[in-house]
Amino acid sequence: MLTIGYIGNGKSTNRYHLPFVRQRDNIKVKTIYQRNPKNESWDRIPGVNYTSDLDMLLNDKDIQLIVVCTRQDSHYEYAKLVLEHNKHCLVEKPFMETSEQAREIFTLAKEKGLIVQAYQNRRFDSDFLTVQKVIEEGKLGDLIELEMHFDYYRPEVPESVHSFNPLESFLYSHACHTIDQVISYFGKPDHIHYDVRQLLGTGRMNDYFDLDLYYGQLKVSVKSSYFKIKERPSFVVYGKKGCFVKETKDRQEEHLKMFYMPENKDFGVDKLQHFGVLTYIDEEGTIHEEKVKSVNGDYGRVYDDLYDAIINGKDKTITDEQTLLQMEILETGVKHLK
């Protein structure tokens, strides 16, 4: 049994973590530290201790892992505290404010023989897992180009911001999902071209990015904007012999926002209309077009991997090197903005 506690009792803890942890018999949630009990807005879980005394959480000998689910400007402080109290630590993303902070936290964890990692749950998105399946089946041939989009039409978000803060940029808050997906599957790129903009002008929020990551002949493009009234496909993959288009995103977040939880068998599961389309030419020159059944996603697999690392001594799936590379890419992308 892995016994865990949380720092933070807001949306991140209650929407993106607890619904998955509670589906796992080998993990027990003992304590949740809530920084602002007067602002409590989520139903309490029976059998879980709720406290506003951080020391109670940090000094509990039963708790092996503490999950930091707060704003990123406190991630460094809390992760360091957790490690200093000899607990393993899982941190929401973006992992830290800077790669320098990330290096310090990883070094401290190694010195203490502890595990610390980022909560990169989007590695287990259905659309991303389905793209991997299609690539590995080989019908696309040698890969040439992969485009991934995470679009919104929410102009009110950047329009409400009248100053520039790198840590609150669109790149930091959203590319931390998609860049991690690229790194986790393709590794470190040969080089990167950055197009990171403030569409409303200097001194405003970063609200658009388009990064091209090059791997030999393959170009992987990571694109997002707050001003896309019609979303682009979630993934488009081109090979020398075919193409795969996945129009719709993973549905786990959609269901979580509706309070339709993982205990339902069809939670996050794509229906026929959500399946991607594979078009390819075979060895006889015949062109085929077919729907591809989506692989089911599961954000909770981050916890399965952590359980194996902490309890069974297996290697971490989300490595320090991958997280550091992601942090360096985010820093580089916004450094020219003002």
CATH code, 15: 3.40.50.720
Q: Rounded to two decimals, what is the model's pTM?
A: 0.94
The answer as to whether 44 is a domain residue is yes
pLDDT computed for residue 321 by the predictor: 97
**Domain boundary pick from 58, 84, 119:** 119
CATH of the domain at 252: 3.30.360.10
Distance CA 90, CA 323 (A): 13
The answer as to whether 167 is a domain residue is yes
Say whether both 104 and 239 belong to one domain.
no
For 153-192, letters b (16+ CB in 10 Å) and e give: eeeeebeebeebebeebbbbbbbbbbbbbbbbeeeebeeb
Say whether both 226 and 188 belong to one domain.
yes
- Tokens 């820093």 belong to residue: 331
Considering only the C-alpha atoms of the chain, give the largest distance between any 2 of them, rounded to a whole number of Å: 69
Say whether both 136 and 285 belong to one domain.
yes
DSSP secondary structure code for residue 143 in this structure: E
The answer as to whether 309 is a domain residue is no
> Is residue 4 pLDDT above 90, yes or no?
yes
**Domain boundary pick from 104, 119, 134:** 119
Residue 91 in 3-state DSSP? strand
**Domain boundary pick from 60, 95, 119:** 119
Residue 144 in 3-state DSSP? strand
The answer as to whether 240 is a domain residue is yes
Average pLDDT over residues 227-232: 95
What average pLDDT does the chain have?
A: 96
pLDDT computed for residue 243 by the predictor: 98
Contact between residue 97 and residue 65 where contact means Cβ atoms under 8 Å apart: no
Distance CA 104, CA 70 (A): 19
Q: Which amino acid is at 192?
A: I
Residue 206 in 3-state DSSP? coil
The crossing angle, in degrees rounded to 10, of helices 75-84 and 99-112 is 10
Q: Report pLDDT digits (tens) over 50-62.
A: 999 999 999 999 9
The answer as to whether 263 is a domain residue is yes
- Backbone φ and ψ for 173, nearest 5 degrees, come out as -80, -25
The answer as to whether 317 is a domain residue is no
The answer as to whether 280 is a domain residue is yes
Say whether both 92 and 9 belong to one domain.
yes
Give the total number of structural domains in the chain. Answer: 2
Residue-number span of the structural domain to which 150 is assigned: 122-297+329-334
Q: Percentage of residues in the chain with pLDDT exceeding 70? A: 100
The answer as to whether 142 is a domain residue is yes
Say whether both 93 and 46 belong to one domain.
yes
Say whether both 33 and 114 belong to one domain.
yes
pLDDT computed for residue 229 by the predictor: 95
Say whether both 130 and 265 belong to one domain.
yes
Residue 87 in 3-state DSSP? coil
Distance CA 93, CA 323 (A): 10
Say whether both 113 and 127 belong to one domain.
no
pLDDT computed for residue 117 by the predictor: 97
Contact between residue 90 and residue 310 where contact means Cβ atoms under 8 Å apart: no
Q: Report pLDDT digits (tens) over 232-280.
A: 999 999 999 999 999 999 999 999 999 999 999 999 999 999 999 999 9
